[in-house]
Amino acid sequence: MNPFPPFHPAHVFPPDFVWGVATSAFQIEGGATLDGKGPSIWDNFCRVPGAIADGSNGDTACDHVHRWAHDLDIVKDLGVDAYRFSVSWPRVQPDGMGEWNGKGLDFYERLVDGMVARGIQPYLTLNHWDLPAALQARGGWAARDTVHRFVDYARQIGRRLGDRVATITTHNEPWVIATLGHEQGCFAPGIQSRATAMQVSHHLMLSHGLALQALRAQGCKSRLGIVLNLSPIGPATDSPEDVAQARLDDGRSVRWYMDPLFKGDYPADVIEHLGPDAPRIEPGDLAHIATPMDFLGLNYYTRSVVSASGGWDVKASGNRITEMGWEVYPEGLTELLLRMHRDWTLPPLYVKENGAAFKDELVEGRVHDVERTDYIARHIAAVGDALAQGVPMAGYMVWSLLDNFEWASGYEKRFGIVHVDYATQRRTLKDSALWYRDFLQLQKAARRAPAAAHDEPAGS
């Protein structure tokens, strides 16, 4: 039986649709103290007993700091248009303020030049969670001063790399930083305070808007935006309690970020619900947050079903469940994209992360990851469905290029389409990578076909 959905011609994507693969600095680079890099909050969090499932850390990870050229060769071999990566702030500015680290900046110069030389568009993220630990010691994202430190950092990266990178994302998933890092405390910096989390979310959003303004003011040519993790959130039953819970959760995780970006205000029902935990907002902040963006990035993995009494048994869905315990629900991606298109006026939209962790087995140089391949194929089809219904989709990126450090899950969860043997650092393309490569070749062939027809001399 063919495990993959048949690709109907309706899923031929437009010629300028951008295909990519994604990673982030802390998850792959290693080189934790190499060439003057300072510690990040994740370096410190990994040292907290019990914080990381397998007790691991990012000291070596995929050793990408030494193997980047080989990794870029793999990216090129896949035939993607773009590679999404992040800059480690403490690698380029060890304390998050003051001195710049020339060797750290040079590393990203080489990396970006390496992409350009291979014909790969660089998609850069400034903050994929690894805040310099020195700034955390001064209050981290809860301190308004960090907003200004981030804007300085954005300016410096814009000056050094803005002439070559296609897009700059300010923050990856501010909800995760605020809620998992500062309310639930299961991610760095491990704080548990709702009031702090809400203040953090506001500072992240404010720094996003101010960074966009600063980059544009210095003539940065890269397209600018942010990446949010959003899910469709529905009630487990029709009971008024469950429906109210779903509305509140949607308010806190979706509208809390979308409304200020696109409507210039936080949702009133959430502010009311938060009461004294609502953030302090200074005059003018909301206008800065609503600074127009050139694109919006979305990371999608699964849907969320909620009940007022707490849990919902994901197994009840009857759908496949990934190693993360996440339901495979590609319809949710189409549903979410259509809702976003309906409720807000969107700039070009990219899926900047989508993928799955499954148990992989490397046997005689092959990883037959049928479930991951199926996951990716079905989600690409879901994007195609949204595009066909008018959502301004501009690109899709697989999470992740490589197996890597999956935050609090350590190295136990593998999201890569390329397998990494951590003992030898050997990379092996999984079947999902081979499928993606073939799929992209078909897309490129389809791109060429209409162009060839167009080039026919008149009258022939």
* Catalytic residue positions, numbered: 173, 353
**Closest alpha carbon to 161 in 227, 104, 246, 232:** 104
The H or E element spanning position 209 is: helix 194-217
Q: Based on the shown chain and the rule CB under 6 A, indicate whether residue 61 belongs to the binding site for ligand FCB.
A: no
Q: Does 229 bind ligand FCB (CB under 6 A)?
A: yes
Nearest one of 204, 389, 387, 226 to 294, comparing CA atoms: 226
Angstrom distance (rounded) from CA 155 to CA 160: 9
Compare residues 394 and 402 and give the one whose CB is closer to ligand FCB.
402
Query: CB 355 → ligand FCB: shortest distance, Å?
Result: 7
Q: From the CB of 352, what's the least distance to ligand FCB, in Å?
A: 9
Contact status: 24 vs ligand FCB (CB under 6 A): yes
What are the helix (H) ranges across 118-186? 133-136, 144-161, 174-175, 181-182
Q: Does 170 bind ligand FCB (CB under 6 A)?
A: no
User: Between 350 and 399, whose beta carbon lies closer to ligand FCB?
Assistant: 399
Stretch that binds ligand FCB, among 168-176, 213-221, 252-260, 269-277 (CB under 6 A): 168-176
> Which is closer to ligand FCB, CB of 288 or CB of 303?
303
Question: Segment near ligand FCB (CB under 6 A), from 169-177, 189-197, 256-264, 290-298?
Answer: 169-177
User: In Å, how far are 12, 70, 137, 186 from 83, measured between CA atoms?
Assistant: 21, 14, 33, 29
| Contact present, 192 and 277 (Cβ < 8 Å) | no
Using CB under 6 A as the binding rule, whether residue 353 contacts ligand FCB is answered as: yes
Select the residue interacting with ligand FCB from 407, 411, 435, 436 (CB under 6 A).
Answer: 407
- Calpha distance 382→422 (Å, rounded): 33
> Does residue number 125 form part of the binding site for ligand FCB (CB under 6 A)?
no
Q: Which of 51, 62, 65, 176 binds ligand FCB (CB under 6 A)?
A: 176
| Least spacing, CB of residue 283 vs ligand FCB, in Å | 32
- Interface residue with ligand FCB among 45, 415, 435, 436 (CB under 6 A) is 415
Stretch that binds ligand FCB, among 172-180, 197-205, 289-297, 313-321 (CB under 6 A): 172-180
Smallest separation (angstroms) from ligand FCB to the CB of 29: 13
Count of C-beta atoms within a 10 Å radius of residue 307: 15
- CB 414, min distance to ligand FCB, A: 11
399 binds ligand FCB (CB under 6 A): yes
Taking the complex as a whole, the smallest distance from the CB of residue 287 to ligand FCB amounts, in Å, to: 28
> What are the φ/ψ torsions at residue 296 (nearest 5 degrees)?
-125, 135
**Could you give the count of Cα atoms lying within 13 Å of 81 in the half-sphere of its Cβ?**
14
Q: How far, in Å, are 72, 84, 111, 293 from residue 76 at the CA level?
A: 6, 13, 13, 28
CB 299 to ligand FCB: min, Å: 6
# residues near ligand FCB by CB under 6 A: 12
Q: Please, are residues 149 and 204 in contact by the beta-carbon 8 Å criterion?
A: no
Residue 406 engages ligand FCB in binding (rule: CB under 6 A): yes
Is the C-alpha dihedral spanning 310, 311, 312, 314 positive or negative? positive
User: Which residue of 172, 196, 231, 304 would you call a contact of ligand FCB, by CB under 6 A?
Assistant: 172
207, 145 contact by CB (below 8 A): no
Instruction: Note whether 327 binds ligand FCB by CB under 6 A.
Output: no
What are the structure tokens assigned to 442, written together? 């078909």
Residue 201 CA, chain-centre distance (Å), reads: 16
Question: Which residue from 420, 341, 436 is spatially nearest to 67, judged by alpha carbons?
Answer: 420
Tell me: does residue 42 bind ligand FCB (CB under 6 A): no
For ligand FCB, the binding residues (CB under 6 A) are 24, 27, 172-173, 176, 229, 299, 353, 399, 406-407, 415
